[in-house]
């Protein structure tokens, strides 16, 4: 009798190179927010401390599990400002903002217990030993979903595996018709992730992540980041001089008129994200977090941006600064 095997012959599948996933040893889940839910379910924490400067999506699993939570402020160097240590049955989440806060990560992990490091903006940073760490694939690559979790626990949940083939239409339409035409489909996929629930990473998503040249991506992001830093740091009100980074999320540019600069860039088809408008409702108007949510401009440095496009970004920012100086 013949052994069972995959189908031989038939129609062809996508021609994807087969490399090694960057986080192949992690738990493979369907998004970063569900990585947090998985962790909270397994470890049964009664409370979680979160930075006030964080996306509302992180609250979804916390509220779903009815876990108590509290926000803490961060200082101008993005380090946590704490009045006291968290309780024994509580955990402490810290975001490695922009992939540029590795020093803070190490200090926090050495000084506190039950730490969760949110590396959704620091995909290429390896987890510290025995530290629960979360990653997002969608924030760095063209995939419909995907999250990685390193968790210091033996217990594992039995999960249904999601499917992602029918949610790749945004990625395909983007290639054919451009980002603006595909934007509504990306929003539909985001809405799906809000409601789909905790599942294992789809096979298609994992296969797409196996096709990526991670060294190239990291190198290109580093080059683009350094280019912007070299040209714009004199005008940047954030301290971004550290060389302790690997493939950062963006080049974070802070100025007094950052909100206007974002509009100026968008009008010239240079798209920047908002991190995060919802923060304005939970922090004082004179806080560092309020200023970040209002005036931080996360300039793109991703692997799809060429050096010529970095020149365009620099030129456009400097044009705006000249206009503001004259007004």
**CA dihedral over 262, 310, 205, 127, signed as positive or negative:** negative
Of the chain, the percentage scoring pLDDT greater than 70 comes to 98
Write the CA distances from 299 to 56, 244, 296, integer angstroms: 21, 19, 9
Q: Stretch 17-41: mean pLDDT, rounded?
A: 96
Nearest Cα residue to 205 out of 248, 166, 250: 166
Same domain, 188 and 219: no
Q: Residue 12: inside a domain, yes or no?
A: no
Residue 303 clears pLDDT 90, i.e. is over it: yes
Same domain, 249 and 200: no
Same domain, 218 and 145: no
List the helix and strand counts (H, then E) for the chain: 10, 9
Same domain, 277 and 188: no
Count the domains in the chain: 2
Residue 4 clears pLDDT 80, i.e. is over it: no
Q: Stretch 97-116: mean pLDDT, rounded?
A: 96
Same domain, 164 and 232: no
Residue 10 clears pLDDT 90, i.e. is over it: no
Q: Residue 134: inside a domain, yes or no?
A: yes
Q: Residue 6: inside a domain, yes or no?
A: no
Q: Residue 3: inside a domain, yes or no?
A: no
Same domain, 74 and 175: yes
Residue 124 clears pLDDT 50, i.e. is over it: yes
Same domain, 178 and 277: no
Q: Is 36:58 a contact under the CB 8 Å cutoff?
A: yes
Of the chain, the percentage scoring pLDDT greater than 90 comes to 87
Range of the domain at 284: 214-326
In this structure, the strands spanning 115-118 and 90-95 are: parallel
Q: Stretch 153-179: mean pLDDT, rounded?
A: 92
pLDDT score recorded for residue 263 = 96
Same domain, 38 and 82: yes
Residue-wise pLDDT for 267-298, tens only, equals 999 999 889 999 999 999 999 999 999 999 99
What is the pTM assigned to this prediction? 0.94
Same domain, 192 and 224: no
Residue 120 clears pLDDT 50, i.e. is over it: yes
CATH number of the domain enclosing 308: 3.90.1150.10
Residues 6+ apart with CB under 8 A from 319: none
Same domain, 102 and 250: no
Residue 5 clears pLDDT 90, i.e. is over it: no
Domain end call among 164, 187, 209: 209
Angle (CA) 322-325-326 rounded to 5° is 90
């Amino acid at each position: 009798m013949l052994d069972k095997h995959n189908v031989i012959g038939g129609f062809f599948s996508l021609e994807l190179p087969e490399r090694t996933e960057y986080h192949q040893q992690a738990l493979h889940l369907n998004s970063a927010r569900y990585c947090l839910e998985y962790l909270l379910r397994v470890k049964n924490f009664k409370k979680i401390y979160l930075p006030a400067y964080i996306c509302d999506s992180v609250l979804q699993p916390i509220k779903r599990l009815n876990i108590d939570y509290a926000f803490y402020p961060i200082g101008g160097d993005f380090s946590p400002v704490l009045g006291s240590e968290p309780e024994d049955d509580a955990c402490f989440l810290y975001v490695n903002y922009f992939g540029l806060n590795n020093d803070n990560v190490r200090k926090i992990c050495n000084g506190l217990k039950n730490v969760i490091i949110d590396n959704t903006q620091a995909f290429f940073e390896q987890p510290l030993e025995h530290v629960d760490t979360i990653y997002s694939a969608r924030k760095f690559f063209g995939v419909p979903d995907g999250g990685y979790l390193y968790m210091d626990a033996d217990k594992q949940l039995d999960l249904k595996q999601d499917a992602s083939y029918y949610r790749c239409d945004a990625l395909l339409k983007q290639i054919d018709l451009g980002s603006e035409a595909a934007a509504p489909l990306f929003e539909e996929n985001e809405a799906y992730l809000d409601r789909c629930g905790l599942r294992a990473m789809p096979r298609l998503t994992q296969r797409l992540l196996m096709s990526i040249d991670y060294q190239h991506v990291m190198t290109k992001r580093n080059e683009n980041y350094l280019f912007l830093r070299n040209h714009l740091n004199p005008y940047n009100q954030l301290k971004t001089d550290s060389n302790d980074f690997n493939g950062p999320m963006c080049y974070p540019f802070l100025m007094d008129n950052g909100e206007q600069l974002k509009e100026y860039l968008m009008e010239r088809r240079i798209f920047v994200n908002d991190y995060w408008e919802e923060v304005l409702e939970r922090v004082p108007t004179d806080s560092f977090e309020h200023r970040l949510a209002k005036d931080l401009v996360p300039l793109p440095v991703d692997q799809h941006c060429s050096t010529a496009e970095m020149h365009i970004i620099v030129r456009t920012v400097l044009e705006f600064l000249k206009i503001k100086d004259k007004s």
